[in-house]
Amino acid sequence: PRAAPQRGGCVKATATAHANIALIKYWGKANEDLIIPITSSLSLTLDDLFTTTTVDFSSLEPTAADQATLDGATVSGRPLERICGLLDLVRERAGIDQPAKVTSENMVPTAAGLASSASGFAALTGAAAVAAGLELSDRELSRLARRGSGSASRSIFGGLAIWHAGDSDETSFADPVVDHGFAQEISLVVLVLNSGPKAVSSRDGMRRTVDTSPLYESWVAEHAGHLREALAAVADRDLPRLGEAAEANALGMHAAMRAANPPINYMNDASCAALQAVKDARAAGFPAWATMDAGPNVKVLTSTKRAAELEAWLQSRLKDSVPGMDTVVAHAGPGLTVTR
């Protein structure tokens, strides 16, 4: 029998969560079911890219199935199953059995490697938990969001966040990084090269890389040093040191992907031109280091002070080789907010 939300549950809640970009990456799972990663990761939560999600446990017939829309379009198939899976975890924890109506608006180009699953599942987790009457700490929200999409664990927090890999559901969660305001001094120039859907999902791509890439193990071995360097760089407010660790970590990840069987290549000609332009920007005296995720876009880590100037320089540099390129400058953004 289905029960109504517990007393104290507010039935309906709306949450906003911001996208994050990993400077030191998560790529590969030690436990697929619980989404325990092989590596810890470090990210910057962004200001202008976010998802707002409303979860309502009161508007559907008790026997109905969960329903979801994203930007007004009905969600079905695998994406809906992933939403239902997260809702089931929340219902189980709250002791309720009510179907949910989920309404989501994305301010992030979906599936373009701009981590819409991170903001999406962080917002879904926050809204569903509050609507179900749960009072969870940020750490519990991070653990729960992780079950929807690993990178979502980091979007619970603003600024710089570290997701500790851990080795169990209890020990795998994100934390804010104590940075004394350093997150505000760094920004990302996002070069939007192709906002079409990606060819291989992160989920499938990372499984194939772990299972078949002869370079995966060496990337994991180097990863520990990259993360150590990046955290030391944050503590020292040393952007070049952070940038070098981030770029090495991302390029190593993409090399491991390309060595998988069959190969996974998220880079297209525009990505390669953009990576070269970032090197040229550095040679021209800009602080500029590239990172890439499961798509062709290139994100350029730079100082907040010089971000606009670097954006203009890259636009002019790439206007002939990458016609139609869009750019977005993203600064550090806030953590999850939930309203009833």
Residues that bind ligand DP6 (CB under 6 A): 22, 25-27, 35, 41, 115, 117, 149-151, 202-203, 293-294
Whose Cβ is closer to ligand DP6: residue 82's or residue 317's?
82
Q: Which is nearer to ligand DP6, 203 or 258 (CB)?
A: 203
The least distance separating ligand DP6 from the CB of residue 210, rounded to whole angstroms, comes to: 12
Tokens describing residue 276? 């070269």
Q: Name 205's Cβ contacts closer than 8 Å, sequence gap at least 6.
A: 257, 260, 264, 266, 294
For 122, the 3-state DSSP assignment is: helix
d(CA 27, CA 253): 8
CB 39 to ligand DP6: min, Å: 9
Of 145 and 281, nearer to ligand DP6 (C-beta) is: 145
Measured from the CB atom, is 117 or 125 closer to ligand DP6? 117
3-state secondary structure at position 45: strand
Considering the complex, what minimum distance in angstroms separates the CB of residue 211 from ligand DP6? 14
| 190, 337 contact by CB (below 8 A) | no
The minimum distance between CB 43 and ligand DP6, in angstroms, equals 7
Query: How is 94-121 classified by DSSP, letter by letter?
Result: HT-----EEEEEESS-TTSSS-HHHHHH
**What gap in Å lies between CA 277 and CA 241, rounded to an integer?**
20
Nearer to ligand DP6, 98 or 202 (CB): 202
Q: Least CB distance from residue 110 to ligand DP6, whole Å?
A: 12
Looking at residue 165, the DSSP 8-state letter turns out to be -
